[in-house]
Amino acid sequence: MKLSPISNPPEPTNLLIRLHNQVGAAVDVTGTTAYLGSRWHCHGCGDRSDMPALDSLSFTRRKANEHATDCRASYHRLG
Ligand SMILES: [Zn+2]
């Protein structure tokens, strides 16, 4: 696998789970384990949780994992 230039970006202090998409870009689940305390963000394509919603970890984990399975972007320069 060709590793993405952002396969290992700096870890946020509130990082809960790091997944990797199909080309190795990090998909981070951040926040807390509290009810409605977490969100996800893909370093490959810039996609993220619907803002400003925070979701429960079980929901966020499932959505992040589904995104990592589908996403093939390795880098984005979106603002
Ligand atoms: Zn993505």
Count of domains in the chain?
1
Identity of the residue numbered 23: V
Q: Is 76 inside any structural domain? A: no
Model confidence at 70, in pLDDT bands (50, 70, 90)? Answer: very high
> In the beta sheet, which residues pair with residue 40?
29
Residue 2 lies in a domain: no
DSSP bridge partners of 19: 27
Inside any domain, residue 22: yes
How far apart CA 74 and CA 9 sit, in angstroms, is 12
For the segment 2-31, what is each residue's pLDDT rounded down to a tens digit? 566 688 889 999 999 999 999 999 999 999
Instruction: Identify the domain containing residue 30 by its residue range.
Output: 15-70
Mean pLDDT of the chain: 90
CA of 11 to the centre of ligand 1 (A): 17
9 assigned to some structural domain:
no
What spacing in Å lies between the alpha carbon of 21 and ligand 1's midpoint? Answer: 7
23 CB-contact burial (10 Å; exposed 0-12 / middle 13-18 / buried 19+): middle
SS3 (DSSP) at 16: strand
